[in-house]
Amino acid sequence: MVHVVKGRTDRVVVVGAGLSGLSAALHLRGAGHEVTVLEKQPHPGGLAGRLDVDGHRIDTGPTVLTMPELLDDAFGAVGARREDHLELLPLHPAYRATFADGSAFDVHTDADRMEQAVHDFAGAREAQGYRDLRDWLGRLYEVERDRFIGASFDSPLDLLGPDLVKLARLGGFGSLARAVGKFLHDDRLRRVFTFQALYAGVAPRDALAAYAVISYMDTIAGVWFPRGGMRAVPQSLADAAAAAGVEFVYGVEVTELERTGNRVAAVHTSDARFPCDAVVLATGPAQSTRLLRGKPRRVVPLRWSPSAVVVHLSSSRVADDLAHHTISFGEKWDGTFDEIIRQGTLMSDPSLLLTTPSLTDPELAPEGRHLQYLLAPCPNLDVAPLRWEKLAERYTGQLIEEMSARKLLVDPEPLAIVTPDDWARDGQAAGTPFSAAHTFAQTGPFRPANLPFRDGNVVLAGSGTTPGVGIPPVLISGRLAAERLRR
């Protein structure tokens, strides 16, 4: 039985209206708690932010949405239906991958269609390898879903049990790159099923094979896009929560937790005091550390994931062979991860993600224009404190030039540039939106716990705690936080 907060938890203040905070608020309200959400922005979203420029409805945070059933769970906690609040459009293909040799490959979630695509792309042996890989990914997900991804931990001993044995037998504690390599021999296809390790902040050769579940989410469970843009997700969750009685206070920044020992009696903003029985900090590691007045006690300091430069673009037209999500792989692979993770340098032969949401929802851009996001992984500020105020414009030009040479960008005009400095100003540790890297020592029970003080009434939610980074994990983290506050 997971440890729960002792004492009354009737009145809960949730700090942060990002996806984890909204998930926590919905699950708490559904369990009968009185819930108040405090958010410094004038709208919900947190890292899933928004920016409007010249008629372009820009999403400044995540662009890949998987596992919509987790949204169903959050809405359902208060008796709402996701379909009444949010329209999700399935993406076919989920991704398009382009390679330095000029080839391209579409990733399909349908098994038969994907097998045929692999056969046409790389031959019969790879097609059978894909079938076997798909089966392995499905078994891996079944083992991890409830016990490792969907659970809180109080101790490494919580891992012990038959599921741990099953995960070990499936090779979950080996290398992701080697695990996928047992099924696929074509280097291009291996990249398609291992690049997701970057979401976890590690190179594929260093990532645990257990993190192949991210590939399961992308390539089997399916990728979706909300009508109205990604901002529609937090807005719809907030609307459902408000309709269920959750109070939202926007445009306020929390300055202090009124504490007696490890327990909090009230949350303070610059001009108000909010009494409470418990607190959910859905703020990210940097802000929660500040509010709790101390870093988590760890033998080895946290290692942060790489960051990213995101260039938001307007284009009069797009390349003919673009999908909603197009991944452009450079020729280099392992060396690219070495550059941004170990050496602290920019990619010399970049692999980039180009998202064109207006292909799916034309209303996100003015008539006759397209909205595009170009994401380039880069070192975080701890690894390389680059002078982005001087570097950003030049690097943006290099990225646009590279993607134009690859014939994936046509006449783009920059609308906005987001760099690690911007993430840092927004309160993200080491200037990365991807939080703590998912190394072995920062995974599962070794990740910062969502209950920082056993005798306290503060619970954490978000990508910095259990289970980790990405939209599905942060939605789960909100539910896990709510479960710590069972009445």
CB 388 within 8 A of CB 431: no
CB 96 within 8 A of CB 268: no
E strand residue ranges, 9-138: 11-15, 34-39, 50-53, 56-59, 88-90, 95-98, 104-107
Instruction: Tell me the sheet residues that pair with 104.
Output: 98
* CB neighbourhood size of 293 (10 A): 9
Mean pLDDT of 87-91: 97
Mean pLDDT of 303-308: 94
So what's the pLDDT on residue 445?
79
So what's the pLDDT on residue 301?
82
Asked if the peptide bond before residue 68 counts as cis, ω within 30 degrees of 0, the response is: no
Tell whether the model's pLDDT for residue 210 goes beyond 80.
Answer: yes
All structural domains of the chain, each given as residue ranges with its CATH number in brackets, are 11-49+68-89+230-301+440-484 (3.50.50.60), 110-221 (no CATH), 304-429 (3.30.9)
Tell whether the model's pLDDT for residue 158 goes beyond 80.
Answer: no
With cut-offs at 50, 70 and 90, classify the pLDDT of residue 140. very high
Of the listed ranges 100-109, 139-148, 289-298, 324-333, the least confidently predicted one is 289-298
Burial class of residue 444 in the structure, from the number of CB atoms within 10 Å of its CB (0-12 exposed, 13-18 middle, 19+ buried) = buried
So what's the pLDDT on residue 268?
98
Distance, CA of 313 to CA of 325 (rounded, Å): 14
φ/ψ of 279, rounded to 5, equals -130, 140
With cut-offs at 50, 70 and 90, classify the pLDDT of residue 334. confident
Mean pLDDT of 248-252: 98
With cut-offs at 50, 70 and 90, classify the pLDDT of residue 149. confident
Tell whether the model's pLDDT for residue 163 goes beyond 80.
Answer: no
Distances (CA, A) of 374 to 164, 320, 350: 39, 17, 12
Distance, CA of 323 to CA of 309 (rounded, Å): 21
Mean pLDDT of 380-387: 95
Tell whether the model's pLDDT for residue 296 goes beyond 60.
Answer: no
More confident residue, 248 or 145: 248
| Entry pTM | 0.95
Distance, CA of 85 to CA of 261 (rounded, Å): 41
With cut-offs at 50, 70 and 90, classify the pLDDT of residue 164. confident
So what's the pLDDT on residue 486?
85
So what's the pLDDT on residue 152?
76
Of the listed ranges 140-149, 200-209, 242-251, 396-405, the least confidently predicted one is 140-149
Instruction: Tell me the sheet residues that pair with 122.
Output: none
Q: Which two tokens stand for residue 474?
A: 């942060």
- B/e letters for 78-102, b = 16+ CB within 10 Å, e = fewer, are bebebeebbebeebebbbbbbbeee
With cut-offs at 50, 70 and 90, classify the pLDDT of residue 291. very high
Mean pLDDT of 400-417: 96
So what's the pLDDT on residue 302?
87
So what's the pLDDT on residue 1?
60
